[in-house]
Structure 1
Amino acid sequence: MNEQSRQAERTRLAESDAPTAPWRLWGPYLAGRQWGTVREDYSAGGDAWTSFPFDHARSRAYRWGEDGIAGICDVHGFLNLSVALWNGRDPILKERYFGLTNDEGNHGEDVKEHWWVTDGTPTHSWMQVVYRYPQAEFPYAELRETAKRAGRNEREPELSDTGALDENRFFDVRISYAKAGPKDICVELTATNHGPDPAPLHLLPQLWFRNTWAWGRDDRMPNLTARTRDGWRRITAEHGALGRYTLHVEGTPTLLVTDNETNEVELFGTPRNPTRYTKDGIDRYVVGRDAKACQVIGPDDTSESGTKVAAWYSFDPVEPGESVTVRLRLVEGDGHLDAFGPSFQDTVDQRKAEADEFHHTDLDPKRAAVVRRALAGLMWNKQHYRFRTREWLDGDPAQPAAPTSRKNMHARNAHWRHFDVADVISMPDEWEYPWFAAWDLAFHTVPFAKVDPAFAKEQLLLLCREWLMHPNGQLPAYEWEFGDVNPPVHAWAALQVYRSEENKDRKFLAKIFHKLLLNFSWWVNRKDADGSYLFEGGFLGMDNIGPVNRSEPMLGQWRLEQSDATSWMAAYSLHLMQIALELARHDESYEDVATKFVEHFLSIAEASTQFGSGGRGIWDETDGFCYDVVSRRRPDGHVESQPVRVRSMVGLIPVLACAVLEPWVFEELPDFARRLEHLLSKRPELRQFLSRSGGGALLSLLDERKLRRVLGRMLDEGEFLSPHGIRSLSAAHREGLEVQVADQEHRMGYEPGESRTPMFGGNSNWRGPVWFPTNALLVEALRTIEEFHGGRFHVELPTRSTRHVTAGRAADELVGRLVSLFLPDHDGRRPADGKRIESTDSPLWREHVTFSEYFDGDTGEGLGATHQTGWTALVASLLTDRRQTGAVGEANE
Structure 2
Amino acid sequence: MEVMSGAERDRLADSGEMTSPWRLWGPYLAARQWGTVREDYSADGNAWGYFSFDHARDRAYRWGEDGIAGVCDRHGFLNLAVALWNGRDPILKERYFGLSNGEGNHGEDVKEHWWVLDGTPTHSYMKVLYRYPQAEFPYADLRRLAAEAGRDGREPELSDTGVLADNRFFDVTVTYAKAAPDDLCVEVTATNQGPADARLDLLPQLWFRNTWSWGRDARRPALIAATDKGWTRVVAEHSLIGRYTLHASGHPTMLVTDNETDEIGLFGRGRNPSRYTKAGIDDHVVRGAADSCQVVEPGAASQPGTKAAAWYHFDAVAPGESVTVRLRLIRGDGHGRAFGSTFGSTMDLRRAEADEFHGGPPVTQRDLVRRRALAGLMWTKQVYRFRLRHWLEGDPANPPAPAQRLGPGARNVHWRHLDVADVLSMPDEWEYPWFAAWDLAFHMVPFASIDPAFAKDQLLLMCREWMMHPDGQLPAYEWEFGDVNPPVHAWAALQVYHAEDTPDRTFLARVFHKLLLNFSWWVNRKDPEGNYLFEGGFLGMDNIGPVNRSEPLPAGWRFEQSDATSWMATYALHLMRMALELARHDEAYEDVATKFVEHFLSIAGVSARFGSASRGIWDERDGFCYDLVSRPHGDGTVESLPVRVRSMVGLIPLLATAVLEPWVFDELPRFAARLNYLLHHQPEFGQFIGWRTEPDGRRRALLSLLDDDKLHRVLTRMFDEREFLSPHGIRSMSAAHRDGLTVEIAGRTHWVGYEPGESRTPMFGGNSNWRGPVWFPTNALLVQALHTVDTFHGDAFTVELPTGSGRRVTLGEAAGELSGRLASLFLPGPDGRRPADGKRVESGDSPLWSEHVTFSEYFDGDTGEGLGATHQTGWTALVAVLLAGWPVNG
Please state how far the C-alpha of 1:362 moved relative to its aligned partner.
Answer: 11
Q: For 2:347 and 2:195, locate their aligned partners in 1 and report how far apart those are by CA, in whole Å.
A: 30
Query: Are positions 1:176 and 2:180 aligned together?
Result: no
Q: 1:825 is matched with which residue?
A: 829
* 1:667–1:362 Cα change, 3 Å: farther
1:15-30 equivalence runs, <5 A = 15-30=14-29
Q: 2:877 is matched with which residue?
A: 873
1:37-186 equivalence runs, <5 A = 37-186=36-185
Q: 1:603 is matched with which residue?
A: 602
Q: 2:762 is matched with which residue?
A: 758
Q: 2:696 is matched with which residue?
A: none
Q: For 1:331 and 1:583, locate their aligned partners in 2 and report how far apart those are by CA, in whole Å.
A: 45
Q: 1:788 is matched with which residue?
A: 792
SS of equivalent to 2:414: helix
1:560-619, Cα deviation, whole Å (9 max, x unpaired): 100000000000000000000000000011000000000000000001011123212011
- The answer to whether the 8 Å contact 1:577/1:593 transfers is yes
CA RMSD of aligned residues (A): 1.2
1:92-115, Cα deviation, whole Å (9 max, x unpaired): 000000000000000000000000
Q: For 2:525 and 2:386, locate their aligned partners in 1 and report how far apart those are by CA, in whole Å.
A: 26
Structure 1: runs of 5+ lacking an equivalent: 886-893
Q: 1:478 is matched with which residue?
A: 477
Q: 1:296 is matched with which residue?
A: 295
Q: For 2:528 and 2:642, locate their aligned partners in 1 and report how far apart those are by CA, in whole Å.
A: 21
Q: 2:728 is matched with which residue?
A: 724
Letter in 2 for 1:821: L
Please state how far the C-alpha of 1:441 moved relative to its aligned partner.
Answer: 0.2
Q: For 1:363 and 1:139, locate their aligned partners in 2 and report how far apart those are by CA, in whole Å.
A: 36
Please state how far the C-alpha of 1:794 moved relative to its aligned partner.
Answer: 0.5
Q: For 1:487 and 1:640, locate their aligned partners in 2 and report how far apart those are by CA, in whole Å.
A: 26
Q: For 1:362 and 1:813, locate their aligned partners in 2 and report how far apart those are by CA, in whole Å.
A: 27
- The answer to whether the 8 Å contact 1:22/1:183 transfers is yes
1:440-492, Cα deviation, whole Å (9 max, x unpaired): 00000000000000000000000000000000000000000000000000000
TM-score, reference length from structure 1:
0.98
Q: 2:263 is matched with which residue?
A: 264
Q: For 1:61 and 1:460, locate their aligned partners in 2 and report how far apart those are by CA, in whole Å.
A: 32
Query: Are positions 1:706 and 2:710 aligned together?
Result: yes
Q: 1:360 is matched with which residue?
A: 359
1:355-411, Cα deviation, whole Å (9 max, x unpaired): 001001799621111110000000001000000110000000001111111122321
Letter in 2 for 1:627: Y
1:221-232 equivalence runs, <5 A = 221-232=220-231
Please state how far the C-alpha of 1:529 moved relative to its aligned partner.
Answer: 1.3
- The answer to whether the 8 Å contact 2:231/2:336 transfers is no
Letter in 2 for 1:398: A
Query: Are positions 1:778 and 2:782 aligned together?
Result: yes
* 1:708–1:26 Cα change, 3 Å: same
Q: For 1:882 and 1:830, locate their aligned partners in 2 and report how far apart those are by CA, in whole Å.
A: 22
1:807-826 equivalence runs, <5 A = 807-826=811-830
Q: 2:530 is matched with which residue?
A: 531
Please state how far the C-alpha of 1:846 moved relative to its aligned partner.
Answer: 0.5
Q: How many percent identity over aligned positions? A: 74
* 1:675–1:362 Cα change, 3 Å: farther
1:164-211, Cα deviation, whole Å (9 max, x unpaired): 000000000000000000000000000000000000000000000000
Q: 2:497 is matched with which residue?
A: 498
Q: 1:31 is matched with which residue?
A: 30
TM-score, reference length from structure 2:
0.98
1:53-452 equivalence runs, <5 A = 53-360=52-359, 365-452=364-451
1:644-672, Cα deviation, whole Å (9 max, x unpaired): 00000000000000000001000111110
Q: For 2:618 and 2:887, locate their aligned partners in 1 and report how far apart those are by CA, in whole Å.
A: 31
- The answer to whether the 8 Å contact 2:608/2:615 transfers is yes
Query: Are positions 1:642 and 2:641 aligned together?
Result: yes
Please state how far the C-alpha of 1:882 moved relative to its aligned partner.
Answer: 5.5
Q: For 1:39 and 1:420, locate their aligned partners in 2 and report how far apart those are by CA, in whole Å.
A: 12
* 1:361–1:231 Cα change, 3 Å: closer
Letter in 2 for 1:62: Y
Query: Are positions 1:613 and 2:617 aligned together?
Result: no
Q: 2:547 is matched with which residue?
A: 548
- The answer to whether the 8 Å contact 1:374/1:868 transfers is no
Q: For 2:115 and 2:598, locate their aligned partners in 1 and report how far apart those are by CA, in whole Å.
A: 48
* 1:407–1:868 Cα change, 3 Å: closer
Moved more, 401-410 or 148-157: 401-410
- State the 4+ residue runs in structure 1 displaced beyond 4 angstroms: 361-364, 882-885
Please state how far the C-alpha of 1:288 moved relative to its aligned partner.
Answer: 1.0
Structure 2: runs of 5+ lacking an equivalent: 694-698
Q: For 1:841 and 1:581, locate their aligned partners in 2 and report how far apart those are by CA, in whole Å.
A: 54
1:328-361, Cα deviation, whole Å (9 max, x unpaired): 0000011123100010000000000000010017
Please state how far the C-alpha of 1:789 moved relative to its aligned partner.
Answer: 0.9
Q: For 1:442 and 1:601, locate their aligned partners in 2 and report how far apart those are by CA, in whole Å.
A: 22
- The answer to whether the 8 Å contact 1:409/1:415 transfers is no
* 1:363–1:77 Cα change, 3 Å: closer
Please state how far the C-alpha of 1:270 moved relative to its aligned partner.
Answer: 1.3
Q: For 2:179 and 2:336, locate their aligned partners in 1 and report how far apart those are by CA, in whole Å.
A: 14
SS of equivalent to 2:795: helix
- The answer to whether the 8 Å contact 1:117/1:868 transfers is no
Q: 1:889 is matched with which residue?
A: none
Letter in 2 for 1:199: A
Q: For 1:558 and 1:862, locate their aligned partners in 2 and report how far apart those are by CA, in whole Å.
A: 38
Please state how far the C-alpha of 1:536 moved relative to its aligned partner.
Answer: 0.3
